[in-house]
Amino acid sequence: MPARTLAAVSREIVACERCPRLRAHCAAVAREKRRAYRDETYWGRPVPGFGDPHARLVLVGLAPGAHGANRTGRMFTGDSSGDWLYEALHRTGFASLPTSVARDDGQRLTDCWISAAARCAPPDNRPTPVELMHCRPFLAQELTLLRRARVVLVLGRIGFEAWLKASGWWERLPARERPRFAHGAEHTMPDGLVLLASFHPSRQNTQTGRLTREMWHRVFERAREVLERGPR
């Protein structure tokens, strides 16, 4: 039976053992640790969504970072991708703080919920298709329960496809009519929801200049514009 609350979905996520490869990897990372965090206790479990249950903006990322969310237990918290994300969320009025470093740091999201395609940190940041399928029901349940959502911002191609499949649009739309991923792409879905896309703020993208601060900020500014003024 689908969970009836976001809190119930979160509990199911944390308890999940569907993917042995991912659970083994997360446990190994939590045990071995990175030298800079050797005195910390890693979360080491699947990471639930985070944010405002009444959010109109939903973000869908790829997966927890091995030494980020897998360490801290909160989405996009404790690594460079999170530094980029929360700075942009704070800049556009969705986050109370410009950084997110730990579950107890006082960070609060307003009108925003952060989710992901996969809830366990995968080796080399590459979840398999089967692992993504195992995680999909969690995202689908969150989307059902986030009834006020008007804008979805997906980070990266995997997050983009995960949202299309979890929301049901992948099956409902013919292949030629499905939205295509590109940084800055904007699609208004048949039900009126606005889908925005961005490159993921991974170091591979930010340190090579593929994703600049200006490009990144513009996507969040557009999300705010849609919420305040409506789509184009």
pLDDT of 230 > 80? The answer is no
Q: Residue 229: what pLDDT?
A: 87
Rounded Cα distance between 199 and 183, Å, is 5
Percent of the chain with pLDDT strictly greater than 70: 97
pLDDT digits (tens, 9 = 90+) for 197-212: 999 999 999 999 999 9
Rounded Cα distance between 150 and 113, Å, is 12
Q: Residue 3: what pLDDT?
A: 65
Q: What is the mean pLDDT of the chain?
A: 96
Total structural domains within the chain: 1
Burial class (CB in 10 A: 0-12, 13-18, 19+), 219: buried
Where in the sequence is the domain holding 25, given as residue range(s)? Answer: 6-229
Nearest alpha carbon to residue 127 among 40, 212, 47: 47
Q: Which two tokens stand for residue 46?
A: 């699947």
Percent of the chain with pLDDT strictly greater than 90: 96
C-beta separation of 6 from 139 below 8 A: no
Q: Does residue 23 lie within any of the structural domains?
A: yes
Q: Residue 122: what pLDDT?
A: 97
**pTM, entire model:** 0.95
What is the SS3 assignment for the chain?
CCCCCHHHHHHHHHHCCCCHHHHHHHHHHHHHCCHHHCCCCCCCCCCCCEECCCCCEEEEECCCCCCCHHHHCCCCCCCHHHHHHHHHHHHCCCECCCCCCCCCCCCCECCEEEEECCCCCCHHHCCCHHHHHHHHHHHHHHHHHCCCCCEEEEECHHHHHHHHHHHCHHHHCCHHHCCCCCCCCEEECCCCCEEEEECCCCHHHHCCCCCCHHHHHHHHHHHHHHHHHCCC
Mean pLDDT on 17-40: 96
Rounded Cα distance between 34 and 48, Å, is 22
Q: Does residue 124 lie within any of the structural domains?
A: yes
Distances in whole angstroms, Cα of residue 1 to Cα of each of 94, 123, 158:
32, 31, 26
We report the CATH number of the domain holding residue 142 as: 3.40.470.10
Mean pLDDT on 11-17: 97
Q: Residue 42: what pLDDT?
A: 97
Mean pLDDT on 222-227: 98
In this prediction, residue 4 has a pLDDT band, given cuts at 50, 70 and 90, of confident
Q: Does residue 1 lie within any of the structural domains?
A: no
pLDDT of 142 > 90? The answer is yes
pLDDT of 144 > 60? The answer is yes
The mean-pLDDT minimum among 66-70, 184-188, 213-217, 228-232 falls in: 228-232
